Amino acid sequence: AGTLYIVATPIGNLEDITLRALRILKEVDLIAAEDTRHTRKLLNHFAIHTRLLSYYREKEMDRGREIVARLQAGENVALVSDAGTPGISDPGAVLVRLARQAGIPMVPLPGPSALTTALSVAGLEPGSFLFLGFLPSQKSPRRKILTSLISSEYSLVFYEAPQRIEGLLADALDILGDRLALWARELSKSYEELREAPLSELQALAAERQNKGESVVIIHPGTARVPEGDNMEELLCWYRDHSGL
């Protein structure tokens, strides 16, 4: 059988692709892509001419079976999504499960994700966050999930699309209170913006912004206050309290 490579691609800045990702995308027989037009632009930029097959949410099962059949016939396949790491709030899970059931070797290539990029600048101890991805777009289930998170001791990480960021910040403020949060916007792009502030300030800022961009929001636990200044002792205590160490 061939090998299924799960390949992370840039989240905005085309320079953020690994040498290994470029080599694998060049060498495989087929690239399964969430949106072939989108991926074609990436491939053109790097003069890669590998064949593309679309693999998107609504067709995950059908296309997944088709791709597994090709892998069984000996083809090597790379899976990519529009941005970042496949399977992280993106299609990929169905193909990975089908391939595992079929005993196909799989190789995940490390690379960009909006999740790890935002976390890297949040100043949290690793292991002390809860990733929620996208909350439901409808108000009532969204508020229900936020309510269930009120007493979480972990920092909460959300993805949000431009048209819904104000709604997320407003509901979070209303339900979780005016907590400290990091809004990471347009990571790796020319309008990248990182703001750590109470949710009320971030909400006001979001209302002002014309182009709201793609966002990751990290909301700290209710009782957490990141210590000011350079008091190392205090900082370490804070880490210990919020990382379960």
> What is the token pair recorded at 122?
């949040």
Q: Which residues of 125-156 are buried (b: 16+ CB within 10 A; e: fewer)?
A: beebbebbeebeeeeeebbeebeebeeeebbb
Q: Is 84 in the site for ligand SAM (CB under 6 A)?
A: yes
**Of positions 184, 199, 218, 219, contacts ligand SAM by CB under 6 A:** 184
Least separation in angstroms between residue 125's CB and ligand SAM is 21
Least separation in angstroms between residue 192's CB and ligand SAM is 7
Least separation in angstroms between residue 124's CB and ligand SAM is 17
Residues of this chain, 212-231, that bind ligand SAM according to CB under 6 A: 214-216
Cβ atoms < 10 Å from Cβ of 214 = 18
Q: Is 115 in the site for ligand SAM (CB under 6 A)?
A: yes
Residues in the chain, total: 245
Cβ atoms < 10 Å from Cβ of 46 = 12
Choose the binding region for ligand SAM from 39-47, 71-79, 107-115, 122-130 (rule: CB under 6 A).
107-115
Beta carbons of 226 and 182 less than 8 angstroms apart: no
CA distances in angstroms from 47 to 34, 83, 200, 236, listed in the order given: 20, 19, 46, 48
Q: Is 85 in the site for ligand SAM (CB under 6 A)?
A: yes
Q: Is 171 in the site for ligand SAM (CB under 6 A)?
A: no
Choose the binding region for ligand SAM from 71-79, 84-92, 137-145, 201-209 (rule: CB under 6 A).
84-92
Least separation in angstroms between residue 10's CB and ligand SAM is 9
Q: Is 159 in the site for ligand SAM (CB under 6 A)?
A: yes
> What is the token pair recorded at 93?
């899970």
* 199-208 helix and 165-176 helix, angle to the nearest 10 degrees: 160
**Of positions 63, 160, 203, 242, contacts ligand SAM by CB under 6 A:** 160
